[in-house]
Structure formats: structure tokens, C-alpha cells
Amino acid sequence: MTLLSSSIVHLPITDPTWIFFIVLSIILFAPMLLERLRVPAIVGMIFAGILVGPHGFHVLDRDGSFELFGKVGLYYIMFLASLEMNLQDVQKIKGRAMLLGLLSFLFPLLLGFGANQALGYGVAASVLMASMYASHTLIAYPIVLKYGLTRRKAVSIAVGGTIVADTLVLLVLAVVGGMFKEHTTDNYLLWLLLRVIFLGGAIILVFPWLARKFFRSYDDSIVQYIFVLALVFLGAGLMEFVGMEGILGAFLVGIVLNRSIPPASPLMNHIEFVGNALFIPYFLIGVGMLINVQAFVDNVNIFLLAGVMILVGLTSKWLAAYVTQRTFRMQVEERNLMFGLTNSRAAATLAVVLVGYRIILPDGSRLLGEEVLNGAMMFILVTCVVSSFVTEGVCRKLAVTSTAQTDNEDSTEDRILIALANPQTVGSLVHTALMLRTPKSNIPLTALNVVLEDDPESRENGLKELERAVKIGAAANVRLVTRSRWSVNVVSGISHTMKEFNASDLLLGLHEKDRLTDTFFGKLTTDLIAAVERQIIISKNIIPLNTITRMHVLIPRKAEFEPGFNHCAERLALLASQLSCRVDTYGGRGTLAAMQDYWESKHHSVVAEQHVYTEWRDLISIAHNTSQNHLIVLIAARKGTLSRHSYMNKLPEQIERYFSSRNVMIIYPMQLATATSNTTSVRTAVPVKMR
């Protein structure tokens, strides 16, 4: 009781337990209360920080915990922004991102410099304050994340523009700050650029290599999460060591790890969950604590300065988004989304104003006085509020449109059934299914284990496999339905389950030979290919899929005339998007054109290079272009179908000869029940002639 009274009655609260409880209460209740008022949760966090902070009711001090978690949250925002980017989209829109970034820097810098000169500030102070207007932090990015719009073009452009604008701002900060250091040399800027370039190159080369090695050796999601977080802080710390802000390092680490952490993976879900639940809200509350409302009452001139900052900041960012939209003929919603994301200030703005505040001039005054510091706090608050409201409004409209489009699609086209039999391939198959499914789909995955009627021990082992599959799905925030089925025949059990669940795809592992007399596919897979007319995906993963850097897709001639061609193309596009890797397609001209047309109409982000290929009887030329980090995808065809060719009889032999040490995926696209001349008895799994 003594501890309670001494901690709560006497403000500010200093007991760590109660500090953490109050922060968690704010994180919990602020979004719930403000959602009724249609106020973004981000705004609520900042206002809560004002109320409980030193300049409000002083319930809490801005102690070391807010410094620590706030910095983690700041790095998290920048890291998530680059990690969520679709790098294939970025390759196509890098010109737009560069233009938006340059305009987001130049417009505020020029307008701000003129306004600051008119207010009577010196050249150095005017440049530093103008660079403060030019910066922006992706405060509203969690809103985009919440609505599942992270891979839209406008978002990628805004995120790409952020790194351009903030890098230029940080360079200005380093130059102006360096001018007032005692031991600054004439080559200070040159050495700074060289250090940043060298460090950036080291991160780009070394970090992806480290990630691939680590992910291949350790599959525990918690260990992987700690490893990723360590890389983020290592990159941020090294960037601070060479004289730049750590946010640049965190952003760069997100870019280089982008391909190693697919959006649908459990690891990505862990990263998003921890950041959005704790670190980012902590940072936002800490930002609110910096705002001193009383200072505006004591000094009315701060209102004038803050008004100029807000006017210049909002106008210049809107102009940058407007010019980008008009230049590339984008939609109004895309312009508003770019404006909403690039309008908020926090990280780089705080860095600029604090550096200027700490610089003491020869006459004893500060380069940026207290009025600039307090005005900057109001500037940060208003821009964050405007950014949150604009982004929330645009995301609501875009989300409604996306939902309507999704509702119009056939829901049966995303029901994946995973056949589990080998404990060693459970994790690999479930992770593959997560990457093949449609993102944000409400349809659960289905995992099946078929047990022969006279084998109760296998049933127990199968239940353990299904339980493990459920845990992997839950880690990725995906519901997975399990089914343990007794059957006199494995093929009939799988076939019946496919019909009962109206499954669109059957995913299973590649048969492992136990005897020299075994065939490549094995009897079970061969019978399934004949018995199941839905799409069958046979997967063999030697290395984790998230370490794949390239896909080679072999497509038979006339495959575009098969009924399951579009569905197969859809699955390949989803996989390429998750892996953020390039795709090389091999086939006839007409077939390649049909595949490319589908991807351009449905998945513009897929970057594919076409190769007209005719040497199907020997795949050695393709094998020479592959490496251990590549995935080989062979689209096959059932006997009697239009795209079936005689060379397919030798595919198993060629796979064993050329791709035995590669990840391989063999796809049999969906066929109509009457497409083949042979079918299989569901009960006996013995091929019989159709009458």
C-alpha cells in the first residue's frame, strides 16, 4: 500500500510497473475511444502523450524508457516501410519515386528559405529550418498497413520518395552542423559522402548474404525475429557512427532484407505485430510528450512562426504530390495518398531542430532558439494530424474498392488443400501454401492427413503433423483447418476431401525414393495426377523458399488453351510477388505472350524475362543458368490433353539429372473431367477406361 501511494499520489509516477501499465492503457483504450469519433489512432497516441507528459498533467516524465522504446519505434517505422515495399514495383516506378523525393525536398527548401529570410533569420538558420520542412516521416504508414494497401503504386512511390528526401535533408543537416564543429576540415562533406557510400555498399552486400545463411540454418521464428531486429539496430548504429541519422540505416536494412522476408511469412507477422502493438505507439506517445502547450500561451509570436511552418510545410508537400500526379497521369486518390504519407514530420524534423538548438553561436545565442523548438513541436503535431486524417480517408475509399473487387471473385479459386504425410516436409509445405494463397483472403487453408484403416499409430503421428501445421499458420495469422481421415486408400481419401472442400489446388511434397525400382513420382502421386482434375502442385524445397532470388518457369506449348492456364498463372504471380524475385519464362511465343498478358492485366508488379525455347528434350541450357538460390517451376500436362507432349515422359529423368540440388515445383494445371481419355476409380485408384 505504501508503494501504491508513493507511486500514484505523488506525480510524476516513477515506478516502472505503473509507468508501463499507464502506457499500455493508452495503447489499448486510445484507439477504441477515438475510433468512434473517426479519429486515427495515431493522433490519439500523440494527444495522449501531450496530456500525460511533462507539459500536460505531468503524470509521466519522458524518461529513459521513452527514449529507448521511442527510438526503437522510429527505426521500426522506417524498417517496416522499406520491408513492405514491393521491390518489383519499385524497379518500375523508381523514376516516379525519385521525382517525388526531389520535389518533396526542393519545394519546401526553396519556399521555406524565403519565408525564414522574411522572418529575419540568418542564412544558416534559414537553410536548417527549411530542411526541417523538407523532411518527412512515415507516421501514417501503420494506417496503410491496417487496410492492406502497402503494395499499391502510390505507397511505393511515397516510401521511395521518403528515402530520397530524408537522405538529402540529413546531408544538409550534416553540412550545416559540421560548419559549427571545431575540427571540421574543408573535405568534411566529401568524407561524409564516402563513408555513407562505403557503409551503404557494405550493408547491401553483406546483410543479404548473412540473412540467407541464417535462415537456412535456423527455422525458429523467434530466433529469426531476434536476428532481424539485431540487423536493424546494427545498420542504424553503423549509420550513426559515420555521421548520419540511424533512420537511414534502418530503412536500408529493410530494403536489403525485403526479399528474405515474404509478406505472408510468420516472421513478417511477428515483425508487424510487435512493432504495431508496442514500439511504434511508444514512439508516438513520446512525440506528444515533447510538445509544450504552455509555451504558446507565454509567447504569442510562436503562433506566427508555427503558422508559417505549417503553411509552408503543407503547401510544399501538396505541390510535390500534385506535380508528380500530373506528370505521370495518376489518379486523384493516389495523389492524396502520396500527400498523406509524405506530409507528416517527426524523426528527421526532430533531429534537425535539436541539432540547431544545441549549436551555440559566438555571441552565446543558439542557432535555433526556443521559439523554433516549440514551433517545430506544433508543426510536428499538426502535420501528423493532417497526415493521419488524409491517409485514413483515402485508405477507406481504396479499401472499399478493393473489397468490392475481391467479393466479385470466385471464392472457390483460393481453396488450397495440403496433403501431409512426411513430418520433415510439414513446415516447407505450409510455408509454400502461405505464399501461394491470395493475400488477405478469408478462406482458410486446409491440411489433410490420410490414415489407412488398420494403422492407428500413423493416425497419432498424423495428428501431430496437423497440429504443427496449425501452429505455423497461426504464426502467420492465417486460419488453417485440419482433417485426419480414415480411408482404405490414400488416393481416394485425398480425392474425396478435395471434392468435399471444393478445393482449387492440391499441394503435396515430391516423392522420395526408397528403392531403386521406385519411379520418380511414386505410385501415389501418379495415381493422384490421374484421379484429381484440379490443379496439383508438387513441391521439393531444399532451401527455404524465402531465400529464393529467381524463378525459372518452363511452360509447354499450347498451355494457354488449357482451362486451368489462368489459375496457374495466378499462383505463379502470387509466388513471385511474395518472393519479390525476377521470373524467367521459357516456352513458345504464343504461350509466353499469353502468360505475360495475364500478368500485366492482373499483376503488374511481376518482372518477367521471356525466352523462346524449343530444346525441350534436353534442359541442359536452362540448367547452366540456374544456381542454388533459384526455383525451377515446370508446368506439366496430363496425358491426353492439348499441351501434353512426348518430351514430358523424360522430364523426371532430366529433373534428376540437372535439378537434383535445386528447389523444384511441378504444376499440373486444372483439367475438366472430360479432358482426358483415362480417369481413375476413386475407390481403388486403378486407372480405368472411360466409356
Task: Among 398, 427, 458, identify where a domain stops.
Answer: 398
326 and 431 co-located in one domain:
no
132 and 250 co-located in one domain:
yes
What are phi and psi for residue 667, nearest 5 degrees?
Answer: -120, 125
Q: What is the pLDDT of residues 204-255, one digit of tens each?
A: 999 999 999 999 888 888 899 999 999 999 999 998 888 777 878 888 898 8
Distance between CA atoms of 554 and 610, rounded to whole angstroms? 10
Q: Name the percent of the chain lying above pLDDT 90.
A: 38
434 and 379 co-located in one domain:
no
Read off the C-alpha cell for 478.
492465417
245 and 129 co-located in one domain:
yes
Task: Among 336, 367, 398, identify where a domain stops.
Answer: 398
- Look at residue 66 and tell me if it is in a domain: yes
369 and 268 co-located in one domain:
yes
How many domains does the chain fold into?
2
SS3 assignment, position 507: strand
pTM of the full structure: 0.76
Q: What is the pLDDT of residues 250-298, one digit of tens each?
A: 888 988 998 888 888 888 888 988 888 888 888 888 878 877 777 777 7
479 and 593 co-located in one domain:
yes
Structure-model confidence comparison of residues 206 and 411, the more confident one: 206
Q: What is the pLDDT of residues 525-581, one digit of tens each?
A: 888 998 999 999 999 999 999 899 999 999 999 999 999 999 999 999 999 988 888
Query: The domain containing residue 536 runs over which residues?
Result: 418-689
What mean pLDDT is reported for the chain?
84
- Look at residue 511 and tell me if it is in a domain: yes
Confidence of residue 196 (pLDDT cuts 50, 70, 90): confident
Q: What is the pLDDT of residue 689?
A: 35
- Look at residue 73 and tell me if it is in a domain: yes
Task: Among 340, 367, 398, identify where a domain stops.
Answer: 398
- Look at residue 444 and tell me if it is in a domain: yes
535 and 588 co-located in one domain:
yes
352 and 169 Cβ atoms separated by less than 8 Å: yes
Q: Which long-range contacts (CB under 8 A, 24 or more apart) does 647-650 make?
A: 647/616, 647/617, 648/556, 650/617
346 and 488 co-located in one domain:
no
What is the residue whose three cell numbers read 532430366? Answer: 654
329 and 454 co-located in one domain:
no
- Look at residue 20 and tell me if it is in a domain: no
User: Does the structure show a pLDDT above 50 at 3?
Assistant: no
- Look at residue 406 and tell me if it is in a domain: no
359 and 455 co-located in one domain:
no
Confidence of residue 685 (pLDDT cuts 50, 70, 90): very low
371 and 518 co-located in one domain:
no
- CATH number for position 529: 3.40.50.12370
Q: Name the percent of the chain lying above pLDDT 70.
A: 91
- CATH number for position 88: 1.20.1530.20
310 and 383 Cβ atoms separated by less than 8 Å: yes
- Look at residue 296 and tell me if it is in a domain: yes
Q: What is the pLDDT of residues 443-479, one digit of tens each?
A: 999 999 998 877 778 888 889 999 999 999 988 889 9
- Look at residue 565 and tell me if it is in a domain: yes
User: Does the structure show a pLDDT above 70 at 506?
Assistant: yes
388 and 456 co-located in one domain:
no
